[in-house]
Amino acid sequence: MSAPKVSPEARPGAGFLERCCAIAGAAHVLTGEADTAPFLTDWRGRFTGRALAVLRPADPEQVAQLVQACAAHRVPLVPQGGKTGLVLGSVPDASGSAVVLSLARLNRVRALDALNRTITVDAGCILQTIQEAAAAEGCLFPLSLAAEGSCSIGGNLSTNAGGTAVLRYGNTRELCLGLEVVTPQGELWNGLRALRKDNTGYDLRDLFIGAEGTLGVITGAVLRLFPQPKASITALVAIAAPRQALDLLRLAQDRCGASLTGFELMSDFCLRLVGTHFPSLAQPFVTRHPQYVLLELSSSESEQHAVGLLEQTIADAIARDIADDAVVATSVGQSLALWQLREHIPLAQAAAGKNIKHDIALPVSRIADFIDRTDALVLAAYPGCQLVCFGHVGDGNLHYNVAPPPGAAHEDFLLNQEAINRIVHDSVAAHAGSISAEHGIGALKRDELKRYKPEVELNMMRAVKAALDPLGIMNPGKIL
| pTM: predicted TM-score of the whole model, two decimal places | 0.91
Dihedral angle of Cα 41, 42, 45, 46, to the nearest 10 degrees: -100
Nearest-CA neighbor of 473 among 62, 11, 35?
11
Mean pLDDT of the chain: 94
Please give the helix or strand (H or E) that residue 263 lies within, else none: strand 260-267
In angstroms, the CA 343 to CA 349 distance is: 11
Predicted pLDDT at 306: 84
Is the Cβ–Cβ distance between 377 and 301 less than 8 Å? Answer: no
Question: Which pLDDT tens digit goes with each residue over 84-143?
Answer: 998 999 999 999 999 999 999 999 999 999 999 999 999 999 999 999 999 999 999 999
In angstroms, the CA 278 to CA 273 distance is: 8
In angstroms, the CA 224 to CA 153 distance is: 13
| pLDDT of 231 above 90 | no
Nearest-CA neighbor of 89 among 125, 49, 60, 124?
49
> Which pLDDT band holds residue 13 (cuts at 50, 70, 90)?
low
Question: Which pLDDT tens digit goes with each residue over 53-94?
Answer: 999 999 999 999 999 999 999 999 999 999 999 899 999 999
In angstroms, the CA 168 to CA 224 distance is: 14
SS3 assignment, position 223: strand
In the chain, what percentage of residues exceed pLDDT 70? Answer: 97
Euclidean distance between the first and final Cα of the chain, in Å?
A: 14
Question: Which pLDDT tens digit goes with each residue over 293-303?
Answer: 999 998 888 78
Predicted pLDDT at 15: 92
Is the Cβ–Cβ distance between 56 and 102 less than 8 Å? Answer: yes
Question: Which pLDDT tens digit goes with each residue over 163-179?
Answer: 889 999 999 999 999 99
Instruction: Tell me how far CA of residue 188 lies from CA of 219, 231, 287, 371, in angstroms.
Output: 9, 42, 59, 46
Strands annotated E in 334-447: 359-361, 386-392, 397-403
> Which pLDDT band holds residue 307 (cuts at 50, 70, 90)?
confident
Region 10-23: mean pLDDT is 84
> Which pLDDT band holds residue 236 (cuts at 50, 70, 90)?
very high
Question: In the 8-state DSSP scheme, what is residue 241?
Answer: S
Query: In this structure, are strands 386-392 and 397-403 parallel, antiparallel, or unpaired?
Result: antiparallel
Please give the helix or strand (H or E) that residue 97 lies within, else none: none
Residue 120 φ/ψ, nearest 5 degrees = -110, 125
Question: Which pLDDT tens digit goes with each residue over 244-261?
Answer: 999 999 999 999 998 999
**How far is C-alpha 372 from the chain's CA centre?**
25
In angstroms, the CA 281 to CA 289 distance is: 18
SS3 assignment, position 177: strand
> Which pLDDT band holds residue 471 (cuts at 50, 70, 90)?
very high
In angstroms, the CA 302 to CA 230 distance is: 6
Is the Cβ–Cβ distance between 333 and 270 less than 8 Å? Answer: no
Predicted pLDDT at 332: 83
Please give the helix or strand (H or E) that residue 261 lies within, else none: strand 260-267
| Identity of residue 471 | L
> Which pLDDT band holds residue 443 (cuts at 50, 70, 90)?
very high
477 dihedral zone (left: phi>0; alpha: psi -120 to 50; beta)? left
| pLDDT of 7 above 90 | no
Instruction: Tell me how far CA of residue 116 lies from CA of 145, 173, 192, in angstroms.
Output: 25, 18, 14
In angstroms, the CA 187 to CA 190 distance is: 10
